[in-house]
Amino acid sequence: MLWFVGLGVSGFDSVPARGIDVLARADVVYLEQFTSPVPERDVSRIRDVTGGKLVLAKRWQVEDGAEILKSAKDGEAVLLSYGDPYIATTHIELRTRAAAQGTATGAIHASSALTAIVGECGLHFYKVGRVATIMGGESFATPYRTLYKNMAEGGHTILLLEYDQERDFFLDPSDALAGLLEAEKGQARRVIGESTYCIIASRIGSEDQRITAGMISSLAGTDFGSPPHTVIIPGSLHFTESDALGSTCRCVDAPAGNTVEKISAQMIAKYVPMVRAALEEAKSMYAGKYDDVLENAEMYIRDAEKFLADGHDEVAVLSIGYADGLVDALRMAGGLEPKM
Amino acid sequence: MLWFVGLGVSGFDSVPARGIDVLARADVVYLEQFTSPVPERDVSRIRDVTGGKLVLAKRWQVEDGAEILKSAKDGEAVLLSYGDPYIATTHIELRTRAAAQGTATGAIHASSALTAIVGECGLHFYKVGRVATIMGGESFATPYRTLYKNMAEGGHTILLLEYDQERDFFLDPSDALAGLLEAEKGQARRVIGESTYCIIASRIGSEDQRITAGMISSLAGTDFGSPPHTVIIPGSLHFTESDALGSTCRCVDAPAGNTVEKISAQMIAKYVPMVRAALEEAKSMYAGKYDDVLENAEMYIRDAEKFLADGHDEVAVLSIGYADGLVDALRMAGGLEPKM
């Protein structure tokens, strides 16, 4: 039998009651620490309740899995890990392999940083969009894009920061934010800037947890203490979220949400007045000619605004593009500059 | 002091070790059951460890909060609830009010259905998009839209189904899916149909949990057993996700992901050939005239395809709209039908 037991977010204190029984009964317990470090004090409490052998498993031992699967075939084995066990995709793979060799599996779920952090910050979980992971050495294009997508829908974004157990390396929140600001320069979707409101959740679940919030510019140079840290960039804030953040976290600036204008809305805002002006010039140039084309252009400009207001973003963009094309064809034909 | 203690997903078995201490020490424990019912067996085990008074709190008592806040001011009070406590926005509000009256608060985080369900199904949590809630009596437009947004990014969607403790009402998974199919008829984004692959996670965390998966048409008439149920509509599946689902869940059809073509991609697929054909007609009509307009149209058609391939969806749609407008202006001016 192979058990996946979660340590939860508070070390030994957050192991579910039933998980303790499983640890006591097992022949061998593999303690995995590569998702998040487990304090020495907790390791010794785990050792105390573990009935069989306790193995401090290396990352390769869990990824390779051969020894763990053999132990689980021969007896009762436990893989004990931070948070809720199946959040780590490595564990899901191990479960599949156990099933393939005919070994029964079971999980003792425990608290996860994902839900705990959002709640501690006072944010509504149903507003959280897709989680982004930030690796120091990799491109920030993907997390930047995830942030845009979430924020365009008013959602919050959790940014999980790189942790490498072997190098004892945690990506610093400031470096993560600096990387996103750099991505903004390249992609220019107006997603993030110095005035973006951020929340840094540090050591959630431990006794010295702390949540610091404020604009990126205000947080510069702040010492968030020892890791782990998680960054949350909120989207729009409901007043109960602002109140919760303000009353229970250390806010350098008053709680504020972030908004991004969707690319489609940015386009309509830019092109509608531009195409209208181009249309007026074309009208006076042709004075009574090509009325059907000009009327169509006028209609599609209005449609673009209406479709955007109704949430049909793509049709709105298609409409303003079409109106622009109608007008520009006449302008080009008449010797005027096109306005695309 | 006001404690928020999570029961986790497995009733008393999933209360963290430290949570038991808090229950034993408290003057009064309010057990909240409106998020999910707590089996009688667990209630009696909770009663056994509770040192002070145990109150089976009604929904209004938690929402009103006056009694709980008074107890927390006078002594040590616990609000004990299913899952991880701060997932319920009502609890976050109560914490804010406690802070406002100068009462200290603390949380004992526990396993949440959100992370447990995703893991039990073998799905990768970082691919989960925004959670949708389905209320039987309300419009399905919002969950339908959330599903589209998540799926367009390849993400999975968790659909939480309505539960009303007072009426002992759980929304049936089949009714939730039927409502989404109905929304598809109205909105026609090609998001969901009879062949959409769905996962029904039933009673996760309990001893008789079961996960059933298959196409909507194959699941029709299936008895999923007693509630609670949660529906997950997966986006694209990584092979480790398919393997996990196939090896540990009851799959009526072989595991398969779902894809939706983004509206922008649907538009490019429809308009590019249409505008190309219209352009050819216009070319032969004008034979050598308005070459600049026609060349521009050709260029913007190519751009539309390129922008889409590069992930610049809005610019792609703007480009094909513009090309269409250029061509149609010439067609209208020449007496041909426009092709928008």
> For A173-221, how does the pLDDT look when each residue is reduced to its tens digit (9 = 90+)?
999 999 999 999 998 889 999 999 999 999 999 999 999 999 999 999 8
The answer to whether residue A337 scores a pLDDT higher than 80 is no
- Which is nearest to A94 in space by CA: A41, A57, A141? A57
Q: Which two tokens stand for residue B101?
A: 């009256």
- Which is nearest to B23 in space by CA: B108, B150, B139, B115? B108
A77-86, A253-262, A331-340, B88-97, range with the lowest pLDDT = A331-340
Query: For A177, left (φ over 0), alpha (ψ -120 to 50), or beta?
Result: alpha
Element (DSSP H or E) covering residue B53: strand B53-57
Instruction: Work out the burial of residue B12: count CB atoms within 10 Å of its CB; fewer than 13 is exposed, 13-18 middle, 19 or more buried.
Output: buried
Scan residues 143-162 of B and list those with Cβ closer than 8 Å to A. Answer: 149-150, 153, 155
How far apart (Å, rounded) are the C-alpha atoms in residues B22 and B228?
28
Mean pLDDT over each residue of chain B, to the nearest integer: 95
| R_g of chain A, CA atoms, integer Å | 27
Band of residue B325 on the pLDDT scale cut at 50, 70, 90: very high
- 8 Å CB contact of A86 and B115: yes
**Contact (CB, 8 A) for A336 and B337:** no
Whether A218 has its CB under 8 Å from any CB of chain B: the answer is no
- 8 Å CB contact of A340 and B324: no
Per cent of chain A over pLDDT 90 is 88
Q: Which two tokens stand for residue B295?
A: 């060349």
Whether A119 has its CB under 8 Å from any CB of chain B: the answer is yes
Band of residue B305 on the pLDDT scale cut at 50, 70, 90: very high
Mean pLDDT value across residues A145-169 = 94
Count CB atoms within 10 A of the CB of residue A137. 6
Domain boundaries, chain A: 2-111, 114-251, 263-333
Summarised one tens digit per residue, pLDDT across range A29-40 is 999 988 888 999
Q: What is the pLDDT of residue A298?
A: 97
SS (H, E, C) chain A: CEEEEECECCHHHHCEHHHHHHHHHCCEEEEECCCCCCCHHHHHHHHHHCCCEEEEECHHHHHHCHHHHHHHHHCCEEEEECECHHHCHHHHHHHHHHHHCCCCEEEECCCCHHHHHHHHCCCCHHHECCCEEECCCCCCHHHHHHHHHHHHCCCEEEEEECEECCCCEECCHHHHHHHHHHHHHHHCCCCCCCCCEEEEEECCCCCCCEEEEEEHHHHCCCCCCCCCEEEEECCCCCHHHHHHHHHHCEECCCCCCCCCCCHHHHHHHHHHHHHHHHHHHHHHHHCCCCHHHHHHHHHHHHHHHHHHHCCCHHHHHHHHHHHHHHHHHHHHHCCCCCCC
Summarised one tens digit per residue, pLDDT across range A33-73 is 888 889 999 999 999 999 889 999 988 999 999 999 999 99
- Which is nearest to A115 in space by CA: A230, A270, A285? A230
Q: How far is A136 from chain B (nearest CA, A)?
A: 18
Q: How far is B201 from chain A (nearest CA, A)?
A: 15
The answer to whether residue B340 scores a pLDDT higher than 80 is no
Query: Which positions ≥6 away from A292 have C-beta within 8 Å?
Result: B332
A7-16, A98-107, A330-339, range with the lowest pLDDT = A330-339
**Contact (CB, 8 A) for A260 and A286:** no
Q: How far is B317 from chain A (nearest CA, A)?
A: 5
- From the list B129, B313, B325, the residue facing A324 with the nearest CB is B325
| The CATH fold of domain B2-111 | Cobalt-precorrin-4 Transmethylase; domain 1 (3.40.1010)
ipTM associated with this complex: 0.91
Evaluated on CA atoms A55, A61, A65, A67, the torsion sign reads: negative
- From the list B109, B120, B129, the residue facing A130 with the nearest CB is B129
Mean pLDDT value across residues B211-227 = 95
The answer to whether residue A340 scores a pLDDT higher than 70 is no
Which residues of chain B are within 8 Å of residue A12 when distances are taken between CB atoms?
17
B48 or B285, higher pLDDT: B48
Whether A85 has its CB under 8 Å from any CB of chain B: the answer is yes
A223 — phi, psi (to 5°)?
-95, 110
Q: How far is B157 from chain A (nearest CA, A)?
A: 10
- From the list B84, B153, B205, the residue facing A111 with the nearest CB is B84
- From the list B109, B241, B326, the residue facing A329 with the nearest CB is B326
Band of residue A167 on the pLDDT scale cut at 50, 70, 90: confident
Whether A184 has its CB under 8 Å from any CB of chain B: the answer is no
Mean pLDDT value across residues A84-100 = 96
The answer to whether residue B12 scores a pLDDT higher than 90 is yes
Whether A135 has its CB under 8 Å from any CB of chain B: the answer is no
The answer to whether residue B49 scores a pLDDT higher than 80 is yes
- From the list A129, A314, A326, the residue facing B130 with the nearest CB is A129
Band of residue B237 on the pLDDT scale cut at 50, 70, 90: very high
Q: What is the pLDDT of residue A149?
A: 94
Scan residues 298-317 of A and list those with Cβ closer than 8 Å to B. Answer: 300, 313-314, 317
- 8 Å CB contact of A119 and B92: yes
- 8 Å CB contact of A122 and B248: no
Mean pLDDT value across residues B83-107 = 96
Whether A318 has its CB under 8 Å from any CB of chain B: the answer is yes
The answer to whether residue A127 scores a pLDDT higher than 70 is yes
Q: What is residue B190's DSSP assignment?
A: S
The domain defined by B114-251 carries CATH number 3.30.450.20: no
Query: For A40, left (φ over 0), alpha (ψ -120 to 50), or beta?
Result: alpha
- 8 Å CB contact of B320 and A317: no
A141 → chain B, closest CA residue: B311
How far apart (Å, rounded) are the C-alpha atoms in residues A18 and A9?
16
A125 → chain B, closest CA residue: B87
Measured in whole angstroms, the distance separating CA A76 from the mean position of its chain's CA atoms is: 36
Q: What is the pLDDT of residue A34?
A: 84
The answer to whether residue B141 scores a pLDDT higher than 80 is yes
CATH of domain B263-333: 1.20.1270
Whether B290 has its CB under 8 Å from any CB of chain A: the answer is yes
Q: How far is B205 from chain A (nearest CA, A)?
A: 8
Mean pLDDT value across residues A308-332 = 95
**Contact (CB, 8 A) for A340 and B315:** no
Q: How far is B88 from chain A (nearest CA, A)?
A: 8
Count CB atoms within 10 A of the CB of residue A229. 24
Whether A330 has its CB under 8 Å from any CB of chain B: the answer is yes
**Contact (CB, 8 A) for A15 and B13:** no
